[in-house]
Amino acid sequence: MSLGGVGRIAICGYRRILASHLPHVQRITLQFSRQMSTEMQSVASRLQSSGLLRTQGLIGGKWTNAYDGKTLEVNNPATGEIIAEVACMGRKETNDAISSAFDAYKSWSKLTAAERSKRLRKWYDLLMAHQEELGQLITLEQGKPLKEAMGEVGYGASFIEFFAEEAKRVYGDIIPPTLPDRRLFVLKQPVGVVGAITPWNFPLAMITRKVGPALACGCTVVIKPSELTPLTALAAAELALQAGIPPGAVNVVMGNAPDIGDALLASPQVRKITFTGSTAVGKKLMAGAAGTVKRVSLELGGNAPCIVFDDADLDVAIKGTLAAKFRNSGQTCVCANRVLVQEGIYDKFADAFSKAVQNLKVGDGFREGVVQGPLINEAAVNKVETFLQDAVSKGAKVLLGGKRHSLGMTFYEPTIISDVNSEMLLSREEVFGPVAPLLRFKTEEEAIHMANDTNAGLAAYIFTNNVQRTWRVSEALEYGLVGVNEGIISTEVAPFGGIKQSGLGREGSKYGMDEYLEIKYVCLGDMNRN
Ligand code: NAP
């Protein structure tokens, strides 16, 4: 099994469940830990007074505890402190959330597109009005630097704005008939209730990229955020309610992932599963969806090559590779996982890249100037260490970093490792951490072969000043996204998604709507009768 899920799959939902049936878990406000630092307490208090700190699930518009009273802790990865105890839900709560979504679907899908659009737009406005608080929440539970977290809020909200507009553009078709007394129409209708399962690395954007188009089309949703980062999802859901998105149209359950996943898969009322996460879990969900023949969209793991040709502008290549590799501490599905450098520029690139990387400031995401936060948890650091040991034992050389950061916790030094080859784990699987492996190549043909030599096919990057090469290589790369002389390419207006084992379907852009629409053909006969 891939380590994409940082080893949590088997124990998900159980490890951090607290004692159940205790009166204190019935309280609906945030439970502050006694160990919480003064600094974190002040951020948490600000968040609480904004009304965005929610710890219960959302079912049918009601904030709800787990039925058996169980909770799970949400930790700050930078400090290990407990931020909150949230409801730890399972099968029963999920079934009720599905029923609520099913009921709400009847009215939400009947609203005019203009009315749905208005409420989505209001949700966008509220998300942006609370950009700072939401950013703080993301930094608290996920660890990315505050500036980057605020950027995620803008990016996440942009999907709601974009799909508020697209809601009004769901056109059907009229087909010229083959018989004179017939008229043929094509209608596009919402799929129905959608189960949306999302990861921890973008606690807001991975949700809005699914829920925006789903609601725009007239679908209703049951969201299952990661147990590691549920607070952002709950805050976003609170703002959806405030925006007038009706009770039951957006539900949130979190806790025991396999139980929640099984309930979503088993229900015939859920007509679609949309998942972002590891390839291993994606495959399980795809198999499980077969039982009720649900539609499935999957945004899975990547193994992005970043190809630097001899003719690249060195500064552009350094800046682009830096962004593609070290954003979110290397914990994105589109992070450069292998840096392929042509032999003529290899030494110059390695030298300049090392100088740039050693300037990256590591620390708590709330600290000024920090550009690299902690990894999400201990399992993630263990994975990085295993991959590094494997590479070094097979002849790779550490140019920079290569160990845990002196800050302790789950901080890891920004790392560059050279002489990596295709036999090493670093080349075969996503490292999901701040490690840039350098691989050397001679020809364009060899680079394309190395880049495509993987089951993944999400993002790829090339750096070159040769226009013909840009086209040739972009066409030859077996990837869903290609960045040319640019390391950050995601935007709400362009289609995002992978090929091969990186997934099915596209999110964002006008194509993102198709994932939530069914096509219905209507044949009108007997037209010649008066
Ligand atoms: P993960 O372990 O697969 O978890 C993703 C989600 O699935 C979480 O909500 C998790 O819940 C849930 N889950 C786990 N086991 C489940 C089960 N048996 N049934 C139903 N749900 C289950 O992945 P992750 O570690 O959170 O995220 C990292 C992975 O996501 C990487 O591989 C990355 O490349 C990929 N990713 C892909 C994209 C993309 O757009 N292609 C974007 C971002 C991330 P719990 O967390 O509560 O256990």
Q: Cα–chain-centroid distance for residue 79?
A: 23
pLDDT of 12 higher than 50: no
Q: Cα–chain-centroid distance for residue 133?
A: 20
Atom of ligand 1 nearest to the CA of 298: 41
- Nearest-angstrom CA–CA distance, 211 and 233: 11
Check pocket membership of 336 for ligand 1, CB cut-off 6 A: no
pLDDT of 405 higher than 90: yes
Q: Which residues contact 393 (CB under 8 A, 6 or more apart)?
A: none
pLDDT at site 116: 98
| The two three-digit tokens of residue 495, written as one number | 């289609």
pLDDT at site 13: 37
Q: Could you list the active site residues? A: 299, 333
Check pocket membership of 198 for ligand 1, CB cut-off 6 A: yes
Q: Which residues contact 188 (CB under 8 A, 6 or more apart)?
A: 170, 171, 172, 517, 518, 519, 520
What pTM was estimated for this model as a whole? 0.93
Check pocket membership of 127 for ligand 1, CB cut-off 6 A: no
Q: Cα–chain-centroid distance for residue 324?
A: 16
Atom of ligand 1 nearest to the CA of 282: 3
Residue 70 banded pLDDT, cuts 50, 70, 90: very high
* Ligand 1 center–CA 399 separation, angstroms: 31
Per-residue pLDDT reduced to its tens digit, 342-368: 999 999 999 999 999 999 999 999 999
* Ligand 1 center–CA 172 separation, angstroms: 35
* Ligand 1 center–CA 210 separation, angstroms: 14
Per-residue pLDDT reduced to its tens digit, 204-257: 999 999 999 999 999 999 999 999 999 999 999 999 999 999 999 999 999 999
Do the beta carbons of residue 216 and residue 117 sit within 8 Å? yes
* Continuous segment of H or E residues that includes residue 59: strand 57-59
Residue 134: count other Cβ atoms within 10 Å of its Cβ.
30
Atom of ligand 1 nearest to the CA of 277: 30
Determine the average pLDDT of the residues in 256-271: 98
pLDDT at site 41: 77
* Continuous segment of H or E residues that includes residue 280: helix 279-289
| The two three-digit tokens of residue 330, written as one number | 């290397």
Per-residue pLDDT reduced to its tens digit, 56-69: 999 999 999 999 99
Per the listing, tokens 């959608």 go with: 194
Residue 4 banded pLDDT, cuts 50, 70, 90: very low
Check pocket membership of 199 for ligand 1, CB cut-off 6 A: yes
Per-residue pLDDT reduced to its tens digit, 476-518: 999 999 999 999 999 999 999 999 999 999 999 999 999 999 9
Q: Whole-number mean pLDDT of the chain?
A: 93
* Ligand 1 center–CA 277 separation, angstroms: 3
Q: Which residue in 118, 129, 136 sits closest to 76, CA to CA? A: 136
- Nearest-angstrom CA–CA distance, 110 and 100: 16
DSSP 290: G
pLDDT at site 34: 42
